[in-house]
Structure 1
Amino acid sequence: MPNPSQTALLAAAARAAHLEVDHEPHILHDDLAARLLGDRAHELIAYHRAHGDHPILAAARAQTVVRARYAENRVRDLADTEHAGAVQYVILGAGLDTFALRHDDIPVFEVDLPDTQLWKRKAIADAGLESRARFVPMDLTADDLAANLRDAGHDPNLPTVMSWLGVTMYLTRDAVSRTLRRIAALGRVELILDYILPAHLRDAQGEMYARAVAQAAGEQGEPWLSQYTPGELRETLSRHGFADIRDLGLADAAPGYWPRTDSLRPMALLALAHARRPR
């Protein structure tokens, strides 16, 4: 059975290592990521244990836990406002995300490639866990998102938070636009996505990380294909009918966690956008 992408494995390892390597207060409490990694857990987390203060590994943990924390907080905040069961959470490119394993009161729809989902479902079973997520196997850039979600039980009349994290940089701008068009067809949705800033908007740590990680990702067959300035992404979202667009750096997305006594820093490389698609 094919493994999920290398980036999905590394993101899960970063979330797991955060609880072991970094100081309190922890930004994200994902205590199940290591269990999903199974036999790979020791190998992948060991790099963080041995070299936790290395700027590349620390940056990987920082951006991975901050973006997940921001999205999860919005889901929980909306659930506290509405009835929890009436709020739906759709995770595009879910990878080894564990939200559905840690929160069983909110309907979760995980969208990903069929092979990735087969691997993940086996990993969940092997770990002795049970997920109530609705798995939606599909190619996000080619298939009908609205139809696939509807077939899985998604209700377009209920509030939906959708996260699209760790994906856009691996798609061309045309593919990002096609996906946004499919998301917009869902109607009432809040979208949280992340994207890579171009070189002139990065700080020194962000540029160092980009040079090292982009090359490694390309060698693994997952090259970075798109970058946006906040203005460019805002214009792209507006063109597809999104409004109330917020631009956030890592420091903005996790206020109250900086400065820290460990090696995590809110570098300027990865940014988030939070937008709403009114009905």
Structure 2
Amino acid sequence: MVGANLTRCEGDGVEQGRASRTALSIALIRAAHRGDSGARLFDDPLAAAICGVADGEVAAAQENWIPDVLHPWILVRFRVAEDAIGAAVAAGVRQLVILGAGLDTFGYRNPYPGLRVFEVDHPDTQAWKRERLRAAGIGVPESVAFVAADFEGDDLGDALGAEGFDRTAPAIFVCLGVVMYLSRAATLRLFAFAAGLDAHAELVVDYNDPAATRSAERRAMGADVLTRVADQGEPWQTFFAPAELARELEKLGFDGIVDTSVPETLSRYGFDPDPKYDVFAGRIAHAVRR
């Protein structure tokens, strides 16, 4: 569910065979949020451990390079996704596919007996994550399956099927911090796979609207961040306008699409909807195919 890179990391400052700094930074943001006073957008009690830091040392971790103004959006995405997972489970869904799982910890604190969690990511990222899980003493329950796949070149159906995914049973797919790093063709293949199940399917996905109007200050900040991720070998590739994404999802058979902006999403949970948090015109959509 984090912005883990989905191909090999070969950019400047990133060792080949290692997962992205973005994946670690987002996990650190989840960990740091536990120390925030007042109400929380999201709570991840395992985030600090998987990052290899103690709760009191999170603020000093140098790996978190993502500007503070982006943190509310990063955190509320997880809240939306886990609320959707809970609702899906209540409706009878027993398969969760996390696309681009990175250092996500949901599978290790899964409160839903019977929910099978398929974590899909690049083999290098998964090997790195397993090392971190072992170092942190976080056990991997039998309900979690690691699915190694490169979204640009591998067949997702084959990869999931090899780990026991049932295409005839309902499933919810969570795709956070992923679309922007993929080609459009690879993105649409992921959507098509979810829509092609022989059962009820749900998709929670975040993306960015290139057509949205933003202030000069936010455009400058966004350009700086995009330069930094590109320098790390993780360039952003794919954007959608909301109407465009809706058309693509509807063509695949999804309906009941709920699509909200950063301020709208924050407001939904009773938090400050200040437009300053919307540096990249981020949006999150929840679509259902019955």
TM bin, normalised by shorter chain, reads 0.7 to 0.9
Once residues 3 and 141 of structure 1 are traced to their aligned partners in structure 2, the CA distance between those partners, rounded to angstroms, is: 18
Which of these residues, 82, 97, 115, is aligned with residue 72 of structure 1? 82
Q: Tell me the secondary structure at the aligned position of residue 201 of structure 1.
A: coil
Which of these residues, 196, 202, 205, is aligned with residue 185 of structure 1? 196
Once residues 273 and 115 of structure 1 are traced to their aligned partners in structure 2, the CA distance between those partners, rounded to angstroms, is: 28
Percentage of matched positions with identical amino acids:
36
TM-score by length of structure 1 reads 0.85
Q: Tell me, yes or no, if the aligned pair for 2:152 and 2:182 is still in contact at 8 Å.
A: no
Tell me the amino acid that sits aligned with residue 94 of structure 2: V
Which is helix-richer, 1 or 2?
1
Which of these residues, 211, 215, 222, is aligned with residue 227 of structure 2? 215
Tell me the amino acid that sits aligned with residue 164 of structure 1: C
Once residues 168 and 185 of structure 1 are traced to their aligned partners in structure 2, the CA distance between those partners, rounded to angstroms, is: 19
Q: Tell me, yes or no, if the aligned pair for 2:151 and 2:186 is still in contact at 8 Å.
A: no
2:271 is the alignment partner of 1:258 = yes
Determine the structure 2 residue equivalent to 1:155.
166
Shift of 1:44: 6.9
Tell me the amino acid that sits aligned with residue 135 of structure 2: D
Provide, for residues 162-213 of structure 1, a one-character-per-residue CA deviation record: whole Å limited to 9, x for no partner.
1111011112222222332233333431001111121533356653441221
Q: Tell me, yes or no, if the aligned pair for 1:210 and 1:269 is still in contact at 8 Å.
A: no
Q: Tell me, yes or no, if the aligned pair for 1:12 and 1:34 is still in contact at 8 Å.
A: yes
2:136 is the alignment partner of 1:120 = no
Unaligned runs of 5+ residues in structure 1 are none
Q: Tell me, yes or no, if the aligned pair for 1:162 and 1:190 is still in contact at 8 Å.
A: yes
Unaligned runs of 5+ residues in structure 2 are 1-15
Once residues 269 and 257 of structure 1 are traced to their aligned partners in structure 2, the CA distance between those partners, rounded to angstroms, is: 20
Provide, for residues 218-269 of structure 1, a one-character-per-residue CA deviation record: whole Å limited to 9, x for no partner.
1111111122110111112222332222211123334133238x9x946662
Which of these residues, 10, 15, 18, is aligned with residue 25 of structure 2? 10
Q: Tell me, yes or no, if the aligned pair for 1:112 and 1:137 is still in contact at 8 Å.
A: yes
TM-score by length of structure 2 reads 0.82
Determine the structure 2 residue equivalent to 1:88.
95
Provide, for residues 79-116 of structure 1, a one-character-per-residue CA deviation record: whole Å limited to 9, x for no partner.
2343xxx5211100000000011115221110001111
Q: Tell me, yes or no, if the aligned pair for 1:19 and 1:29 is still in contact at 8 Å.
A: yes
Once residues 103 and 157 of structure 2 are traced to their aligned partners in structure 1, the CA distance between those partners, rounded to angstroms, is: 22
Once residues 149 and 27 of structure 1 are traced to their aligned partners in structure 2, the CA distance between those partners, rounded to angstroms, is: 31
1:100-115 equivalence runs, <5 A: 100-103=107-110, 105=113, 106-115=115-124
Q: Tell me the secondary structure at the aligned position of residue 185 of structure 2.
A: helix
Determine the structure 1 residue equivalent to 2:11.
none
